Structure 1
Amino acid sequence: MSASFFQLLRTKKELIPLFGVVSSAAVGAVAFSVYSLFSKSDVIINKSGNPEPWETIDPTRPQKLLTIHQKWKPIEELESVKKLTK
């Protein structure tokens, strides 16, 4: 199959840019999925291991891919409720 594929690319050279763009998009999608899986705390595979994963997220670390001038301050009411429920 690979010989016929390369033979097709040799005969129809206009398919080479299309193949390059589609391949780079596929590699980028897989790379971003792997990056999100291992570095983002909001991506969870095992839900049964930690039923409340939002409790372990560090609020000072940005969760988005790009964060501009974000400042985090704790809400006192929520912190007091959180202390009462524990």
Structure 2
Amino acid sequence: MFRLLSNQARRHPGLIPLFGFIGLGLGSAALYLVRLAVFDPSVSWDRKNNPEPWNKLSPTHQSKFLAVSTDYKSLKKDRPDF
């Protein structure tokens, strides 16, 4: 596979930026999926010790990657503690 891509890049040098941007996009998508799998509060990897990790979050916890207009510091807690 790599040999085919290198041969194409040698014959058509204009494809080199395309290969670079596709590689960058695939790499960033893979890193985002890893981030979601590790740090998302709705994903539970340890069901024995922590079956519901979302109950231990504070109301000011920001779970979104980018919050544009939400101020999490001023939110009030609207759920009971278990």
Give TM-score scaled by structure 2 length: 0.68
Aligned to 1:24, the other structure's residue is in SS state helix
Gap runs ≥5 in structure 2 = none
Alignment of 1:1-86 (within 5 A): 1-44=1-44, 49=48, 52-67=52-67, 68-70=70-72, 71-75=74-78, 78-79=79-80
Kindly state the Cα deviation for residue 39 of structure 1 after the two structures are TM-superposed: 1.9
Q: Which has the larger radius of gyration?
A: 1
Identical-pair percentage? 27
Q: What value does the CA root-mean-square deviation take over the aligned residues?
A: 2.4
Q: How many residues align?
A: 78
Aligned AA for 2:56? T
* Residues 42 and 63, structure 1, Cα contact 8 Å, conserved in 2: no
The Cα offsets for residues 9-50 of structure 1, whole Å up to 9 and x where unpaired, read as: 11011211111111100000001111122122123456x656
Structure 1 residue ranges (4+ consecutive) displaced by more than 4 angstroms after TM superposition: 48-53
Kindly state the Cα deviation for residue 56 of structure 1 after the two structures are TM-superposed: 2.7
